Amino acid sequence: MPTVTLTTQNFQEQVEKPGILVIDWWATWCGPCRAFAPIYEKASDKYTDVVFGKIDTDAEQELAAAFEIRSIPTLMVFRDQVLVFARPGMIPGAALEDLVDKVKALDMDDVRKKLAEQEAQAKQEDGKQEEVKDEEAKAAGK
Protein backbone atom coordinates (compact mmCIF):
# COMPACT_ATOMS: atom_id res chain seq x y z
CA MET A 1 0.00 0.00 0.00
CA PRO A 2 1.45 3.41 -0.88
CA THR A 3 2.21 5.76 1.97
CA VAL A 4 -0.34 8.39 2.92
CA THR A 5 0.65 12.03 3.31
CA LEU A 6 -0.65 13.14 6.70
CA THR A 7 -1.61 16.75 7.33
CA THR A 8 -3.53 18.68 9.96
CA GLN A 9 -6.60 18.14 7.75
CA ASN A 10 -6.50 14.32 7.67
CA PHE A 11 -4.42 13.37 10.71
CA GLN A 12 -7.27 12.86 13.18
CA GLU A 13 -9.28 10.88 10.64
CA GLN A 14 -6.37 8.50 10.07
CA VAL A 15 -5.65 8.04 13.79
CA GLU A 16 -9.30 7.31 14.54
CA LYS A 17 -9.50 4.47 12.03
CA PRO A 18 -9.27 0.99 13.52
CA GLY A 19 -6.03 -0.85 12.93
CA ILE A 20 -2.40 0.16 12.77
CA LEU A 21 -1.04 3.52 11.66
CA VAL A 22 2.73 3.89 11.34
CA ILE A 23 3.98 7.48 11.04
CA ASP A 24 7.31 8.71 9.71
CA TRP A 25 8.02 12.31 10.78
CA TRP A 26 10.53 13.66 8.24
CA ALA A 27 11.78 16.68 6.29
CA THR A 28 13.24 17.07 2.81
CA TRP A 29 16.55 18.50 4.10
CA CYS A 30 17.12 15.58 6.51
CA GLY A 31 19.73 13.09 5.25
CA PRO A 32 18.74 10.23 7.57
CA CYS A 33 15.09 10.82 6.58
CA ARG A 34 15.96 10.41 2.90
CA ALA A 35 17.97 7.26 3.72
CA PHE A 36 15.02 5.82 5.69
CA ALA A 37 12.45 6.55 2.94
CA PRO A 38 13.10 3.41 0.82
CA ILE A 39 13.07 1.21 3.94
CA TYR A 40 9.72 2.72 4.93
CA GLU A 41 8.29 2.36 1.41
CA LYS A 42 9.33 -1.30 1.28
CA ALA A 43 7.56 -1.99 4.59
CA SER A 44 4.43 -0.19 3.36
CA ASP A 45 4.42 -2.45 0.30
CA LYS A 46 4.84 -5.58 2.45
CA TYR A 47 2.19 -4.75 5.09
CA THR A 48 -0.86 -3.96 2.98
CA ASP A 49 -3.12 -4.19 6.05
CA VAL A 50 -1.23 -1.37 7.82
CA VAL A 51 -1.46 2.34 6.99
CA PHE A 52 1.94 3.98 6.60
CA GLY A 53 1.79 7.76 6.84
CA LYS A 54 4.40 10.46 6.39
CA ILE A 55 4.37 13.89 8.00
CA ASP A 56 6.65 16.59 6.60
CA THR A 57 7.62 18.51 9.73
CA ASP A 58 8.34 21.68 7.73
CA ALA A 59 4.92 21.69 6.08
CA GLU A 60 3.08 20.53 9.21
CA GLN A 61 4.72 22.55 11.96
CA GLU A 62 1.56 22.60 14.11
CA LEU A 63 1.41 18.80 14.18
CA ALA A 64 5.13 18.54 14.85
CA ALA A 65 4.80 20.99 17.75
CA ALA A 66 1.74 19.19 19.15
CA PHE A 67 3.71 15.93 19.27
CA GLU A 68 6.88 17.67 20.49
CA ILE A 69 8.95 16.37 17.58
CA ARG A 70 12.53 17.42 18.33
CA SER A 71 14.48 14.96 16.16
CA ILE A 72 13.80 13.50 12.77
CA PRO A 73 13.21 11.00 11.55
CA THR A 74 10.83 10.05 14.34
CA LEU A 75 8.73 6.92 14.09
CA MET A 76 5.34 6.60 15.81
CA VAL A 77 2.85 3.77 15.78
CA PHE A 78 -0.82 3.96 16.72
CA ARG A 79 -3.00 0.92 17.09
CA ASP A 80 -6.73 1.35 17.50
CA GLN A 81 -6.30 5.03 18.44
CA VAL A 82 -3.60 4.29 21.07
CA LEU A 83 -0.03 5.50 20.66
CA VAL A 84 1.99 2.35 21.30
CA PHE A 85 5.44 3.40 20.05
CA ALA A 86 7.36 6.63 19.56
CA ARG A 87 11.10 6.96 19.02
CA PRO A 88 13.39 9.26 17.10
CA GLY A 89 16.01 7.82 14.80
CA MET A 90 16.28 5.71 11.70
CA ILE A 91 15.86 1.95 12.06
CA PRO A 92 16.84 -0.86 9.69
CA GLY A 93 14.20 -2.63 7.62
CA ALA A 94 14.29 -5.80 9.72
CA ALA A 95 13.72 -3.77 12.90
CA LEU A 96 10.77 -1.94 11.29
CA GLU A 97 9.23 -5.26 10.24
CA ASP A 98 9.79 -6.66 13.73
CA LEU A 99 8.12 -3.58 15.23
CA VAL A 100 5.05 -3.94 12.98
CA ASP A 101 4.79 -7.64 13.83
CA LYS A 102 5.01 -6.87 17.57
CA VAL A 103 2.35 -4.16 17.31
CA LYS A 104 0.08 -6.61 15.45
CA ALA A 105 0.55 -9.12 18.28
CA LEU A 106 -0.37 -6.69 21.07
CA ASP A 107 -3.32 -7.52 23.28
CA MET A 108 -5.03 -4.14 23.09
CA ASP A 109 -7.38 -4.90 26.00
CA ASP A 110 -4.28 -5.42 28.14
CA VAL A 111 -2.68 -2.24 26.76
CA ARG A 112 -5.79 -0.19 27.58
CA LYS A 113 -5.96 -1.72 31.07
CA LYS A 114 -2.33 -0.78 31.74
CA LEU A 115 -2.88 2.73 30.43
CA ALA A 116 -5.91 3.17 32.69
CA GLU A 117 -3.86 1.98 35.67
CA GLN A 118 -1.06 4.43 34.82
CA GLU A 119 -3.55 7.29 34.48
CA ALA A 120 -5.16 6.42 37.82
CA GLN A 121 -1.75 6.30 39.50
CA ALA A 122 -0.79 9.64 37.95
CA LYS A 123 -4.01 11.24 39.22
CA GLN A 124 -3.38 9.81 42.67
CA GLU A 125 0.17 11.23 42.66
CA ASP A 126 -1.14 14.60 41.46
CA GLY A 127 -3.60 14.59 44.35
CA LYS A 128 -0.81 13.89 46.83
CA GLN A 129 1.26 16.73 45.38
CA GLU A 130 -1.68 19.10 45.76
CA GLU A 131 -2.05 18.03 49.41
CA VAL A 132 1.65 18.77 50.02
CA LYS A 133 1.30 22.19 48.36
CA ASP A 134 -1.75 22.94 50.54
CA GLU A 135 0.16 21.94 53.68
CA GLU A 136 3.15 24.05 52.64
CA ALA A 137 0.87 27.03 51.96
CA LYS A 138 -0.75 26.63 55.39
CA ALA A 139 2.65 26.37 57.06
CA ALA A 140 3.91 29.46 55.22
CA GLY A 141 0.83 31.38 56.28
CA LYS A 142 1.43 30.71 60.02
Active site residues: 30, 33
Got the DSSP string for 16-71? Answer: HSSSEEEEEEE-TT-HHHHHHHHHHHHHHHH-TTSEEEEEETTTTHHHHHHTT--S
Helix (H, G, I), strand (E, B) or coil at 75: strand
Q: Which residues contact 34 (CB under 8 A, 6 or more apart)?
A: 28
Helix (H, G, I), strand (E, B) or coil at 14: helix
